[in-house]
């Protein structure tokens, strides 16, 4: 696959190589079908403040997927020249203005054409230092345990993200936190 000027290209990763998620050398073009057997990596960062509250952001109402719903991650595709951890740090900074000191891997999940890699980070920055990225999110909230669990289990939360974070939410907040 060739890279075309003016389009977004992402590295592709294989599942049947020596290592899951190993780069294939091929580029995937945004908006074009992903060839069978190739995947792009999407990173998602769950940010927890040092006081235990979780950062929730409301997706922009004009986004194609799940507009207006709450999510507890900053995320996006790994770009050319990046490893997943670098991409996770970049996405967190771009979408929230926050920097992650340490990222802890929490899940890997496979979909039809994507490998989702989740990270947990603890934030010590001031809560009002969040800067939302225009076009991505429109609102943020540092939710305490009870408020987070209520939103996480509601119809106002992005369903696929709920599934990917289930084990982490149960580890952080108890077995009954995820319905």
pLDDT in tens, 104-135: 999 999 888 788 999 999 999 999 999 999 99
Q: What is the mean pLDDT of the chain?
A: 84
Q: Does any domain span residue 178?
A: no
CATH of the domain at 23: 3.90.79.10
- The pLDDT score that the predictor gives to residue 28 is 60
Please say whether the beta carbons of 164 and 118 come within 8 A: yes
Q: Does any domain span residue 179?
A: no
Q: Does any domain span residue 127?
A: yes
Quick check: pTM over 0.95? no
- The pLDDT score that the predictor gives to residue 175 is 79
Residue 63 class from Cβ within 10 Å (0-12 exposed, 13-18 middle, 19+ buried)? middle
Q: Does any domain span residue 72?
A: yes
Domain count, the chain: 1
Segments forming the whole domain that contains residue 18 = 9-173
- Cα of 64 vs its chain's centroid, Å: 16
């Amino acid at each position: 696959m060739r890279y075309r000027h003016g389009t977004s290209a992402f590295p592709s990763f294989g599942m049947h190589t020596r290592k899951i998620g190993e780069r294939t050398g091929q580029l995937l073009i945004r908006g074009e079908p992903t060839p069978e057997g190739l995947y792009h990596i999407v990173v998602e960062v769950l940010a927890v403040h040092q006081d235990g509250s979780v950062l929730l952001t409301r997706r922009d109402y004009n986004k194609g997927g799940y507009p207006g719903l709450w999510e507890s991650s900053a995320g996006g595709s790994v770009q050319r020249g990046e490893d997943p951890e670098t991409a996770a740090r970049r996405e967190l900074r771009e979408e929230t203005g926050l920097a992650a000191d340490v990222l802890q891997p929490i899940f890997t999940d496979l979909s039809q054409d994507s490998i989702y890699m989740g990270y947990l980070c603890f934030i010590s920055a001031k809560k009002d230092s969040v800067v939302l990225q225009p076009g991505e999110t429109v609102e943020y909230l540092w939710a305490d345990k009870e408020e987070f669990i209520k939103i996480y289990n509601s119809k106002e939360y992005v369903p696929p993200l709920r599934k990917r974070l289930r084990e982490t939410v149960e580890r952080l907040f108890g077995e009954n936190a995820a319905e």
